[in-house]
Amino acid sequence: MTDNKIYFKFDGKRYGGNKGDTIASALLRNNVKLVGRSFKYHRPRGIYTCGIEEPNALVQIINEYNEPNVRATVKKIYEGMVVKSQNRWPSLKRDFGSVNNLLSPIFSAGFYYKTFMGPKGFWKNLYEPLIRRTAGLGKPPREFKSKSTHLNHNVDILIVGGGLSGLLAAKKLAGTDKDVLLIERENEFGGILKNSNKVKSINDQKTSEWLEKTERLLKNSSNIKILKNTTVTTYNYSNHLTAIEDRSVGIEPDNKKPELVLHKIRTENTILANGHIERFLSFRNNDLPGVMLAASFEKYIQRYDVVPDNNPVIFTNNSSTYSLLKLLIDRNCIPRAYVDVRDLKKIERETLDLLEAHNIPYYPKSEIEGCDGNSEIKNISVRTKKNIMLKIKASMLCVSGGINPDIHLFTQSKGLVKWDEKILTFKPEKSFQKTITLGSVSGNFIFKKIIDEVNQKLNFIDGVNDIDLKIEVNGSEEFNIKEIWETKNNNKSLWSKSFIDLQNDVTTKDLTQAIREGFDRIEHLKRFTTNSMGTDQGKISSINALGIVSKLLKKSVSEVGTTTYRPPYNPVSFSAIAGRSTYEFYDPERKTPIHPWHVKHNAVFEDVGQWKRPWYYKKYENETMNEAVQRESKQVRESAGILDGSTLGKIEIKGKDALEFVNMMYTNSFTKMKPMSAKYALMLGEDGMVKDDGIVCKINDNHFITTTTSGGAANVLSHMEEFAQTEWPNLNVYLNSITEQFATFNISGPKSRIILSRVFNNIDFSNHKFPYMTFNTFDYLNYKVRILRASFTGEQGYEIYVPPKYALTLWERIFYYSRDVDLVPYGTETMHLLRAEKGYIIVGQETDGTVTPLDLNLNWMIGKKKKDFIGKRSLTRSDIIKGDRKQLVGLIPIDKSYGIEEGQHVIEDENIPSQIDKPIKMLGHVTSSYFSPTLNHSIAMALIKEGNRKIGSQIYVSTSNMNVIPVEVVKPNFLDPENKRLLS
């Protein structure tokens, strides 16, 4: 192996290529022309282009997690790469699916829509599974774990394209105070200067020398940042563009490094200098391997030093093929023939001179009728100007049907385009954003005019000077083209086709049929035929389709209009879009200060918003959640338990009008509340529905601290801020979130007082000194703790608020002092069970945005004498006070061995018919359900119609296996209704 030789495998066979080769150039180097099978008809397909516009040569990279649909014309080879062709079985040469080609006469446009209509049931069981199995080209990737990253840029000017125009623009901006980002799709600058030999010299230097000097200048300019191997894929509003950088060009992707980088660019101005794309022509069997775009053929020679064929036939309708002709002749590769649609007089003198000097047969005013061959071209049929048919033996055909400015990004930016009758293409007409187009993307195909265009269009930028450029070109400067979209087809065989979209196997006949069936609007026609709906978006063919349709409709192309080019410009990997927001970073995680302790003590975590909360703690390896919850809850009731409640939202409220503010925000009245006391409070939305709940601690009339639900913390603060700032700016009140400043422990159980008295031995926790719903702040060691006597379990309980820095130490001290008391850490599931036994609600579980305090029997929480509070007026609406609203009740199964499932329907009927032919009357649904180890039976809460009136009656709860469980309706308070435990 020499230094430059690289070996890779294609369909199991080992090939050698040169460093820098794409898969396509390496295969062509090895004279491999058949690389894939087409989407629908499984026709043999070859390499059609030399770039991103490729519709045919899509392959699967086996050693890159089976990455499918990779463009062989873009992907660079590396040592050991394993490539496989797609959409064929058992082999590329002998593909069983090619039977589709034989059946192709019935697979016309709209085949799927018309065919799979019946019989009933066939779609689901036969058609869809079958179509899904056969659809698509490659197979999905396996075990893919990408490390793609994102990178943001903020610049003044973005230049898309490092060809001649882009480089001139960058050169003009070098040294200015503008931040410039220059993006080039290939791994080297140059564009057309590298792809063809159209330009002879620049400023009397070889183009390569000029490129080197220019690149050096740009690299030394501190205001210019350069990205290569990067494709701009999306042009959004506000000059926001995204681009994909391939960091693994020509190397095997390293699992530890990003393979792709998604660049997100925000810019003041965008310069689009992204060039043009050559288009093809439709003729019989224009898809046979061996047909290639002329400019691509030239690019293979220029960029990769590969001559795909020594004696191709050239077929053109324009002047751009001169450079290919000259290049071939310079390499002593004499084309077999030169077929030009144009009249002899229109063909450039330079071209004719070359043809004549080298005795190359040329056919003016002629066209290719079609190609013949099995898996590649063997013969090419030419119809001469006198309608004489000639057959030329050749294995490659270079086609040029004209040049399209690459307007995809421009149209994505919402820029308007206009049809140019002279160059027969759409070109940018009016920018919607601050977008400038330069060079061939703006329809300027004449090199000598580019410098004037650059100087003129960029002169509005402060600090730029005009630059000079002396450019010498090969051949004529003028671009000359004759309109032709499809040639006349002599062969009436059912299996010979003239394609308009190679990737989706759409033929020109399909276009004709679609129009005949009434799809005469271009957007309808596109969807009916799937023309230009492949991943290439018809880059080489969509304009041709417009041309053909315009002829069929007898309209001009501008009347037919153009379809919409949609982002992304080329396929973007999901891994690039996701970036690092996958796997361990799928969502940001919030942890409490006690998290390491929870992990050490086998907590199983539950996601509450972004918080990681202990769900339950496994005492032994195989303990189930149910077992753990039963154990934890029993222990809390019998001894004591501790919950990490740090995730609770906490808001500090202060100001001269704090009392009035709190009175307005919550339903309760706080006016007569004593300082250093607390109250369970309810917050409503303006619609009167329960929005949040929490405990309001009153330090004094000017200073409060409130808690919120864990998930509601941010919303409640912003709700309060909104009212403070916009509705009641007259109130002197300020708010701060102090959620993160305090860790919170909830200690509950008959022995909680004993434990706390040991930990805080200078505090009197007696009922008399520390009654229920009071709080105080204490010095402990060298910091302050706030202790609130409150409970969410119905047991004697306390909440301790401590700065996170000291939280873990205090938590461990509590356990230290509880060695003989059997303190159990409990998780959120046990908390839910304990509160359900007491009938305490959870916002979001017993409520769903349609539940009022009246529905929850929380009338006692509404300050009747209060002048106003948010939601008050809504509570008097007729719909809110009507008697048949759903109300919260408790349910106990009549047979206490049964369990009630959460979320099940509550119904009146004892039986659910096996065949449901009319709606069953639903009373409501079960909001919470648990098995209570203290009560030794299931308990549930439910929201049911006229629930309060039904207390004492028997109703039914459905089960997941279509049975019902008879239940008794009770008040939603199953344990200690007198609150003896709570107040003990």
Partner 1 sequence: MTRTFSGDGIYIAQRDFRQIILRGKGDGRFAETVNGEISLLPPKDNLRMISNENYLFAKQSFDQWSLICLKNNEEEALSKMINTMNSNDEILASDCSYGQAYFEFSGDKMKDYLNKLTHFDFRSKKFPPLTIAQTLIARIDCTIYNLEDKYLITCNKSYEDYFKKRLQDTIDL
- Contacts with partner 1 by CB under 8 A lie at 147, 149-154, 179, 256-258, 264, 266, 580-581, 584-585, 588-593, 595, 611, 652-656, 702-703, 732, 734-736, 738-742, 782-784, 803-805
Q: How far is CA 776 from CA 454, 668, 812, in A?
A: 74, 22, 22
Closer of 165 and 269 to partner 1 (Cβ): 269
> What minimum distance in Å lies between the beta carbon of 371 and partner 1?
49
Q: Which long-range contacts (CB under 8 A, 24 or more apart) does 509-515 make?
A: 509/108, 510/108, 510/109, 511/109, 511/545, 511/548, 511/549, 511/552, 512/552, 513/108, 513/109, 513/110, 514/109, 514/110, 515/549, 515/552, 515/553
Closer of 151 and 552 to partner 1 (Cβ): 151
Instruction: Name the β-bridge partners of 262.
Output: 150, 244
* 8 A C-beta contact, residue 631 and residue 639: no
Residues 82 and 336: their CA atoms lie apart, in Å, by 35
Residues 541 and 779: their CA atoms lie apart, in Å, by 79
DSSP one-letter string for 8-26? EEETTEEEEEETT-BHHHH
Among residues 775, 793, 699, the alpha carbon closest in space to that of 984 is found at 793
Residues 36 and 39: their CA atoms lie apart, in Å, by 9
Closer of 717 and 754 to partner 1 (Cβ): 717
Closer of 552 and 608 to partner 1 (Cβ): 608
Residues 966 and 543: their CA atoms lie apart, in Å, by 70
Closer of 110 and 804 to partner 1 (Cβ): 804
> What minimum distance in Å lies between the beta carbon of 975 and partner 1?
33
Strands 82-85 and 5-10: parallel
Structure letter (DSSP) for residue 884: T
Closer of 156 and 946 to partner 1 (Cβ): 156
> What minimum distance in Å lies between the beta carbon of 370 and partner 1?
52
DSSP one-letter string for 323-357? HHHHHHHHTT---SEEEESS-GGGS-HHHHHHHHH
Closer of 487 and 739 to partner 1 (Cβ): 739
> What minimum distance in Å lies between the beta carbon of 745 and partner 1?
15
> What minimum distance in Å lies between the beta carbon of 266 and partner 1?
7
> What minimum distance in Å lies between the beta carbon of 253 and partner 1?
13
> What minimum distance in Å lies between the beta carbon of 728 and partner 1?
14
Closer of 427 and 786 to partner 1 (Cβ): 786
Residues 95 and 99: their CA atoms lie apart, in Å, by 8
Q: How far is CA 741 from CA 595, 827, 841, in A?
A: 16, 22, 26
State whether residue 736 is helix, strand or coil: strand
> What minimum distance in Å lies between the beta carbon of 654 and partner 1?
4
> What minimum distance in Å lies between the beta carbon of 740 and partner 1?
3
Query: Exposed, middle or buried: residue 707 (CB in 10 Å: 0-12, 13-18, 19+)?
Result: buried
**Who contacts 866 (Cβ-Cβ below 8 Å, separation ≥6)?**
663, 667, 669, 872
> What minimum distance in Å lies between the beta carbon of 714 and partner 1?
9
Structure letter (DSSP) for residue 595: H
> What minimum distance in Å lies between the beta carbon of 592 and partner 1?
7
Closer of 466 and 589 to partner 1 (Cβ): 589
Closer of 262 and 451 to partner 1 (Cβ): 262
* 8 A C-beta contact, residue 969 and residue 907: no
In 579-710, where does DSSP find H-type helix?
595-600, 625-638, 658-665
Closer of 551 and 591 to partner 1 (Cβ): 591
> What minimum distance in Å lies between the beta carbon of 784 and partner 1?
7
> What minimum distance in Å lies between the beta carbon of 783 and partner 1?
6
Closer of 376 and 740 to partner 1 (Cβ): 740
Determine phi and psi for 510, rounding to 5 degrees.
-60, -40
Closer of 220 and 374 to partner 1 (Cβ): 220
Query: Of all helices (H) and strands (E), which one includes residue 383?
Result: strand 379-383
Q: b/e for 413-448, b at 16 or more Cβ within 10 A?
A: bebebebeeebbbbbbeebebebbbbbbbbbbbbbe
Closer of 483 and 652 to partner 1 (Cβ): 652
Closer of 533 and 788 to partner 1 (Cβ): 788
Query: Of all helices (H) and strands (E), which one includes residue 830?
Result: helix 828-837
> What minimum distance in Å lies between the beta carbon of 590 and partner 1?
4
DSSP one-letter string for 767-795? TTTS-TTBEEEEEETTEEEEEE---SSSS
Closer of 559 and 587 to partner 1 (Cβ): 587
Closer of 311 and 702 to partner 1 (Cβ): 702
Residues 894 and 638: their CA atoms lie apart, in Å, by 27
* 8 A C-beta contact, residue 752 and residue 661: no
> What minimum distance in Å lies between the beta carbon of 614 and partner 1?
15
State whether residue 720 is helix, strand or coil: helix
Structure letter (DSSP) for residue 511: H
Among residues 293, 359, 377, the alpha carbon closest in space to that of 44 is found at 377
Say what the alpha-carbon torsion angle 139, 140, 144, 148 is, to the nearest 10 degrees: 110
Query: Of all helices (H) and strands (E), which one includes residue 956?
Result: strand 954-958
Structure letter (DSSP) for residue 163: B
Residues 187 and 35: their CA atoms lie apart, in Å, by 24
> What minimum distance in Å lies between the beta carbon of 26 and partner 1?
30
* 8 A C-beta contact, residue 4 and residue 19: yes
> What minimum distance in Å lies between the beta carbon of 304 and partner 1?
32
Closer of 547 and 593 to partner 1 (Cβ): 593
